[in-house]
Amino acid sequence: MSSTKISRRYAVALFELAQEGVSFMPALEQASAVMLCADAESVLTSSAYSESVKIAIFDKILKSVADRKEVMRLISLLISRDKISLLPEILSELEALISQAGSSVDAEVVSAIPLNASVLQALSKQLGSQIGKKVTLVAHEDPSLLGGLVIRIGDRKIDCSVKSKLDGMKRAIIG
């Protein structure tokens, strides 16, 4: 397997962590910068030094960086697999994934009645301003909602339907 494919796999895993809100970019950038130094790379890729020594080097370098836990786990894994030289390439792949994902997001909106284009455009603009990305809406109708909207953006769900409000009141009354 090529180094680019391997780097991409690690980058995708890190991207998924970033999507979950885990912060690690400053630590990853600093660790990657270490690998760009020829002298440091020769030491960190050398078989003359043990894994624990290499990990200790990164631990000392990243000591003052906040949110370094995930990066240290990645470094330990890369060192154990003799892939630490891929660190700058992994960062590059991750940055490409972030820039691709940063521009727009698809969302689904379900309503009791069909929504006209101006309402969808206004909703898209409002959602976009809240999440900081361009939102592309796909609209569906579901008369069982009675009124209101259900919006799904990725794994998030915003339920403002009359049906859910009535169900909530029913649960509160019945217990």
Mean pLDDT of 94-113: 83
Lowest-confidence region among 53-67, 76-90, 127-141? 127-141
Domain boundary among 100, 124, 145: 100
What is residue 103's DSSP assignment?
S
pLDDT of residue 102: 66
Specify the number of domains making up the chain.
Answer: 2
Same domain? 44 vs 127: no
> Which residues make Cβ contacts (< 8 Å) with residue 150, sequence separation at least 6?
109, 110, 111, 142, 157, 158, 159, 160, 161, 164
Q: Clarify whether residues 78 and 11 are in a common domain.
A: yes
Average pLDDT, the chain: 89
pTM higher than 0.85:
no
The region, left, alpha or beta by phi > 0 then psi within -120 to 50, assigned to residue 21 is left
* Consecutive H or E run containing 101: helix 87-101
What was the pLDDT predicted at 73? Answer: 94
56 and 24 in one domain? yes
Across the range 68-85, mean pLDDT stands at 94
Both 23 and 94 in one domain: the answer is: yes
**pLDDT at residue 2, rounded to an integer:** 78
Statement: residue 168 has pLDDT above 70: yes
Examine the fold and report which residue of 72, 100, 128 is the final residue of a domain before the chain moves on: 100
H or E element in which residue 150 lies: strand 148-153
**Pairwise CA distance, residues 142 & 152, whole Å:** 14
CA-CA distance, 136 to 126, in Å (whole number)? 12
Q: Give the model's pLDDT for residue 101.
A: 73
pLDDT for 7 = 93
Residues 36 and 83 in one domain: yes
Query: Residue 44 maps to which CATH number?
Result: 1.10.520.20
The answer on 122 and 69 residing in a single domain is no
- Its domain, for residue 63, covers 3-100
Choose one of 79, 100, 121: the last residue of a domain.
100
User: Do residues 111 and 170 both lie within one domain?
Assistant: yes
